[in-house]
Structure 1
């Protein structure tokens, strides 16, 4: 049953990501133009992340930070008032538009629309045997942690949400997360943080 659901999940990922890329291509081109003309640096930010079975792949995002700002302290989230974020970057991050290039990762089979978020490589040696189970599934464009508060959760809490997703995976759970993701984009992560806090 699980194998069948994972097969359906992959088919949905491929078809949906292809349609999204085609449908949003004018919008994506416009965003790329704005990024290029309003700040120095590349349009796309690339970074290696561990995926399914810890295989390393290159994740894509629209660049939202000033050149040279990619160095981050492990466990420290980049907040909306961070002065390293570009002017347009604040809006791209608020409405999750910066994540849209990862649709290409989904199309290529490196990611799924829903799954544990791909973490930085330098976290790998910090995971316990239980936490390594996050790599039993493809990382996702959105996930359970992203609809449970995300930046308002610490690293441990987000990891537990990712493990909860892997343990309880179903197509129905994916659908639930996709619908809640729409709510996060429209109303902000803080609304879901207060709603889900303490779960």
Structure 2
């Protein structure tokens, strides 16, 4: 089952997919013309175990200025020294959760996702080779945890929720797991991956 899911995911990443954004559920938002987006890469790290495939995520430190305490993929903005967006995602994952780039087999990427914070985020899907013990980056990452991959591959587990933000009500996807509230851009990118697998199955 797990090997079939990984194979399906690999094939799905070769297909045509539309970009996503934090505005997908908010069509009334008017985006300014000529806005500048900063390229960033996040790693979607999947570990295959005897019990099944699991997806690793982080919980950001509550002391951070941006998105404190939120669930996120390891990743960040592309730096000048990064060869490409994939290299940026792998570098950030190494820094944030202690995952060495040489332990990751990159399956492919999802289309970029535009965030309300003006980042153009490319999700890089990778499978971890061998056992992995996360090492959270002090001051940046409060916790590193995993969820069953199948949990976020079922579209029925995603729900639309809303909250007031900057004076207006904004809608977003959420796919909670136990005590972890996975929402916003992270949930939207996971839904894009689930949609790609469904179409490719």
Q: TM-score, normalised by structure 1?
A: 0.32
Q: Determine which structure has the larger strand proportion and give its number.
A: 2
Q: TM-score, normalised by structure 2?
A: 0.32
Q: Determine which structure has the larger helix proportion and give its number.
A: 1
